[in-house]
Amino acid sequence: MNLFKGIKYNFKGFMMGIKNPQLLFLGILRFVVVVLLAFLLSGAVFYFHNQIVNLIWKMPESGLLFYLWKLVSWIITILLASISAIIAYFIAQFLFSLFIMDYMSRKVENIITGKEIYSDDTSYTALFFYLIKQEIPRALLPMFLSLIIMFTGFLTPFGSIIAVISSIFAITFLAWDNTDLVPARRMEPFKKRLAYFRKNLLFHMGFGLLFLIPVLNILFLSFAPVGATLYYIENIDLKSNEDNM
């Protein structure tokens, strides 16, 4: 049930995002930043692929080894381009997207509840650095684990199975990157937020499934803060208010 709930809230957030002019602008801005960085880094890998592969294995002049070198060079290039795209996402996340995501989340909270809930004794500057600090374990850990899983797939005969596991792993953490915006802004402890993520793994997996659709995945990812904030307000906040009554 939580799996389908995750899909529903991602799509619900996407529809809300494209209907609201401010959210639409922010989503498109984030989309452009991520795509531009991914294009530049991956393009650089393809442009210099001969030089990169020559650092590992010098190109033979002729014969069968030359064609084998060509095959290996393109396999390495595609792998490096994939890694570059992942790295580009996280660079965009740290330098720009995190703040767009937080601002989108604030806008949604204002639209739904008419206010923002945050820690009263914290200045905006302190909150700014706090959000960056929170992004480090939330983003870097999944990135390193995803790269380890990816390399494991290339080095073992279970590549196709590991590729599926890696994809599910990646989309689940990408979903958490969005659902964690509201509690992080409210300065809730990281341990408590991690426990919430583990408790709702199926929801996050469902929320992230739309990230697997080619091309459209970047659009869904760009508007994901909207659906994630909707979910948090309508489920976590509502449940908490009911428990306190």
Going residue by residue through the chain, which has 245 residues, state the pLDDT in tens, using 9 for 90 and above: 788 999 999 999 999 999 999 999 988 888 888 788 878 877 777 777 677 777 777 777 777 777 787 777 777 777 777 777 777 777 776 666 677 888 889 899 988 887 766 555 556 666 666 666 666 666 666 666 666 666 666 566 665 676 677 778 878 888 988 898 888 888 788 888 888 888 999 999 999 999 888 778 888 988 999 999 999 988 876 665 555 55
Give the per-residue pLDDT at 72. 76
Q: What is the number of other CB atoms lying within 10 angstroms of the CB of residue 69? A: 18
Give the per-residue pLDDT at 204. 93
In the chain, alpha helices (H): 2-19, 21-47, 49-56, 64-92, 98-113, 124-135, 141-155, 159-179, 181-185, 190-199, 201-209, 216-222, 224-231, 238-244
Q: Which two three-digit tokens encode residue 134?
A: 């929170």
Give the per-residue pLDDT at 52. 72
Whether 116 and 106 have beta carbons less than 8 Å apart is answered as yes
Give the per-residue pLDDT at 119. 54
Give the per-residue pLDDT at 230. 93
Q: Which two three-digit tokens encode residue 141?
A: 């850990």
3-class SS of residue 186 = coil
